[in-house]
Structure 1
Amino acid sequence: MSIADTPELQGRRIVLGLSGGIACYKSAELVRLLVKAGASVHVVMTEAAQHFVTPVTFQALSGHPVYTDQWDAREPNNMAHINLTRGADAIVIAPASADGIAKLAQGRADDLLSLLCLARPWGAGEERCPLLLAPAMNREMWAHPATQRNVAQVRADGALVLGPALGDQACGEVGDGRMLEPEELLEEIVAALRPKSLLGRKVLVTAGPTFEAIDPVRGITNLSSGKMGFAIARAAREAGAEVTLVAGPVALATPRGVRRLDVRSAQEMHDAVVPIAAQYDVFVATAAVADWRPATLAPHKIKKDGKKLAPSFELTENPDILATVAALPKPPYCVGFAAESENLLAHARSKLERKRVPLVVGNLGPATFGKDHNSLLLVDAQGHRELPPGGGMADKQTLARLLVAEIAGRLAAYQA
């Protein structure tokens, strides 16, 4: 299997714990997504959880026996609480009830799930098994001082708390306490298990096209979908960075944990990026910014006049965002993108020299705009090479992770 088609959690072993709550129904979809992502999932259910869903469901979805009792004699040594956590990459409790969180905060171990959490390798060594909690409860229960004390304690003890979300609750009330959706939890689990090569760093990313208005309803734009830039923002966040994403007009969900600023035109993107760029360690200019815009904006829609004469208008050059950031007194590490239709290497190298940046990433725009796969050409002063290594195509999220790892490796030398 090549790096281009390896599932995100291939070879990972996840222990999924369910404590009592109506959100248990979401956990079935979470198991399906984890398995699809390549993980081996082993489910542990409390007695309360079994009142909402059955172990049969999770055995069918995971392909493994479900554990419900600390005295389960199926284990040769009768120590499921030890065996399940040794070699596990993470324990995920979803849903994590108020009672379940209280048990963890107090170090109680009166059922299999709380017992295996206490018995997991929790130190800093290679065998460390991280604990991820997805709270799910009524809004008043979540806001209660006792719950907030317990959440603060489990965080202090090293657990990663995912959510909760705000929204409609099964009881009919609305507020904080909803368990994150399965897709959101999958993204968080993947992020938790990724290497933290940019921990403590700040990354600024631009993505998508810009739209340069001709009149109130028409404009100049391009076919960029923003998928590559959004994938880079997600990958940088997975690597531990604090990420800000400045997005042109695209229809994409914001990656979890990423701050997003929406803009429309090249000038708006320039005005959003340049004042803050010096605060960041890395600037990745993925956006396909329009080079020109109409010099004047027609106040009303330009109509046909019956004479079959096409309207004409003067163009003026847009500000160069990448070159402006690269010329700052203390610029971040700047990565430019070159979306070309021909002579990729020559045009990418020309952009590298013209913008005076340390790295330009080239790709063929017509071959990748709007698509889920891409191939990249990394061009710097020393030479060039392909991503994925050896050439070919890879999905954009895989490429984004490879590029972020590349940037992290270059960053230390750049700032030395």
Structure 2
Amino acid sequence: MEIILCVTGSIAAIESIKLARALKRVGINVKCFMSDEACKIIHPNAMEFATGSDVVLDLTGKIEHVKYAQADLILVAPATANTISKFTYKIADNSISSLLITAQGHDTPILFVPSMHDSMYSAISENIDKTKQENNVYFVDPKMSEGKAKFPDINDIVLESIRIANIHNDQADFLGKNVLITLGGTFEAIDPIRGINNRSSGKMGLELAKESYCRGANLKLIVGTVSVDIPSQIAKTNVLSSKQMNDVTKDIVNDYDIFIATAAVSDFEPISKIESKISSSLDLSLDFKPTEKIIRTIKDINPNIFLVGFKAEYNISEKEIIDEGIKQIESAGTDLVIANDVGIDGCEFGSDNNEIILIDKENTEKISIRSKKEISKIVFDRLRDKT
């Protein structure tokens, strides 16, 4: 995949070095165009280092605006009011504006990342709205704070860039699929300030969500207690308790083609919640009751959904893990179970790696320890073949 990164004269240009490196880390070939104003903020040598390629500053006899106009994506980050407005009215007076107009003539997707004072952002809102109506033109909304339309999270920009490029290159194999994912843990209140939860970080669910999004899916997350940041462009509903997660899931699961239940939902909750803070001087005994197993109700609500369940165990044999996965298939009608042992070194809750066993009605497949990002790709390759 090749992305042309256009850097214009916002102070947020200092973030473009990090953005270029982030794109390179996920295997994207990056070529940079810089405006004269951008060169007053960061030196072209910095972008050359970040991209590993010469930076285009002016148009020459090599007709750079034509040569690079058919890349997988033109990414303007940061995009100033000046650059956006020129594009709105098709003014080509420098290398970047010429590239953008030429790219649009080739139906190359263009992604703008506005960054400026909020007064300027407001002043060009009509231009932005007009530009958004054009084919193959997209925006990542800025973060609004301190009177500025600030550069958004770099990971959000990378995610959006990959999704758009995949869609336009017919590599979005889940385009049109509605995918629902639960992730994180749940918190069961004991009194107004205390409760029980688990150590689920939400990392595996997030990697599956990002993979789904990059492959073009219409994605929705139901998010419990997590230690990860959810990309701003992904639709989500935040919940706290197992009951809240179950209620939201039941309400919307009928609208989805695939449901991936990665959340570590509590198996127990207090029989009764104490309404005032429990004194720390008391000897306390609590009674618990089982929570509802939401995964067992999904097929009753939506018989046609492809149901993916997770089964986390601790320090048991591989055969026992497989047996537990088969039990879930039999009790819940799960189409695919992703089973793992969180007692394995390096695969604990909160780690970046995992070792899993994929279990369905036909066979099992063990996936040795690797990153959760790699595992998410394997899982969605399996889902592509099954759905």
Q: So what's the TM-score if we normalise by structure 1?
A: 0.82
Q: Is the 8 A contact 2:163 2:213 kept in 1?
A: yes
Q: Is the 8 A contact 2:269 2:290 kept in 1?
A: yes
Q: Tell me what 1:5 maps to.
A: none
Deviations along 1:193-218, one digit per CA (max 9) or x if unpaired, are: 34322222322211112222334444
Match of 2:22 among 33, 36, 56: 33
- Residue 377 in structure 1 maps to residue 357 in structure 2: yes
Q: Tell me what 1:101 maps to.
A: 84
C-alpha distance 312-327 of structure 1, shift in aligned 2 (>3 A): same
- Residue 332 in structure 1 maps to residue 321 in structure 2: no
Q: Tell me what 2:372 maps to.
A: 396
Q: Tell me what 1:157 maps to.
A: 135
Secondary structure of the residue that 2:66 maps to in structure 1?
helix
Q: Percent identity at matched positions?
A: 27
Match of 1:236 among 174, 190, 212: 212
Q: Distance in 2 between matches of 1:39 and 1:218?
A: 46
C-alpha distance 137-222 of structure 1, shift in aligned 2 (>3 A): closer
Match of 2:40 among 27, 46, 51: 51
Q: Tell me what 1:91 maps to.
A: 74
* AA matched with 1:317: P
Alignment of 1:123-272 (within 5 A): 123=106, 129-144=108-123, 147-153=125-131, 155-168=133-146, 174=147, 177-194=149-166, 195-272=171-248
Q: Is the 8 A contact 1:101 1:150 kept in 2?
A: yes
* AA matched with 2:134: A
* AA matched with 1:294: P
Q: Tell me what 2:55 maps to.
A: 66
Shift of 1:227: 0.9
Q: Tell me what 1:14 maps to.
A: 3
Q: Tell me what 1:285 maps to.
A: 261
Q: Is the 8 A contact 2:72 2:109 kept in 1?
A: yes
Q: Is the 8 A contact 2:339 2:359 kept in 1?
A: yes
Q: Is the 8 A contact 1:235 1:400 kept in 2?
A: yes
Shift of 1:350: 0.9
Q: Distance in 2 between matches of 1:259 and 1:187?
A: 14
Secondary structure of the residue that 2:74 maps to in structure 1?
strand
Q: Is the 8 A contact 2:340 2:355 kept in 1?
A: yes
Shift of 1:321: 0.8
Shift of 1:314: 2.6
Secondary structure of the residue that 1:353 maps to in structure 2?
helix
Deviations along 1:289-311, one digit per CA (max 9) or x if unpaired, are: 12222212234426455xxxx74
Match of 1:114 among 81, 92, 97: 97
C-alpha distance 60-234 of structure 1, shift in aligned 2 (>3 A): closer
Deviations along 1:99-122, one digit per CA (max 9) or x if unpaired, are: 212332333322211222233386
Q: Distance in 1 between matches of 2:250 and 2:205?
A: 18
Aligned residue pairs: how many? 375
C-alpha distance 365-324 of structure 1, shift in aligned 2 (>3 A): same
Shift of 1:150: 5.0
Q: Distance in 1 between matches of 2:137 and 2:186?
A: 41
Shift of 1:221: 2.6
* AA matched with 2:136: G
Which blocks of at least 5 consecutive residues in structure 2 are unaligned?
Answer: none
Q: Distance in 1 between matches of 2:117 and 2:285?
A: 61
- Residue 23 in structure 1 maps to residue 23 in structure 2: no
Deviations along 1:137-178, one digit per CA (max 9) or x if unpaired, are: 33233223x55235533541312212233122xxxxx15x32
Q: Is the 8 A contact 2:211 2:376 kept in 1?
A: yes
Q: Distance in 2 between matches of 1:142 and 1:200?
A: 32
Q: So what's the TM-score if we normalise by structure 2?
A: 0.88
Match of 1:80 among 64, 88, 104: 64
* AA matched with 1:397: K
- Residue 323 in structure 1 maps to residue 302 in structure 2: no
C-alpha distance 298-138 of structure 1, shift in aligned 2 (>3 A): closer
C-alpha distance 397-155 of structure 1, shift in aligned 2 (>3 A): farther
C-alpha distance 291-112 of structure 1, shift in aligned 2 (>3 A): same
Deviations along 1:84-138, one digit per CA (max 9) or x if unpaired, are: 345x332211111222123323333222112222333865xxxx74322112233
Q: Distance in 2 between matches of 1:85 and 1:222?
A: 50
* AA matched with 1:149: N
Q: Distance in 2 between matches of 1:229 and 1:157?
A: 32
Q: Is the 8 A contact 2:159 2:210 kept in 1?
A: no
Q: Is the 8 A contact 1:101 1:151 kept in 2?
A: no
Q: Distance in 1 between matches of 2:356 and 2:337?
A: 10
* Deviating more after overlay: 349-358 vs 325-334: 325-334
Q: Distance in 2 between matches of 1:140 and 1:313?
A: 56
Q: Tell me what 2:339 maps to.
A: 362
C-alpha distance 154-222 of structure 1, shift in aligned 2 (>3 A): closer
C-alpha distance 148-302 of structure 1, shift in aligned 2 (>3 A): same
RMSD: 2.4
Q: Tell me what 1:4 maps to.
A: none
Q: Distance in 1 between matches of 2:312 and 2:213?
A: 24
Q: Is the 8 A contact 1:234 1:256 kept in 2?
A: no
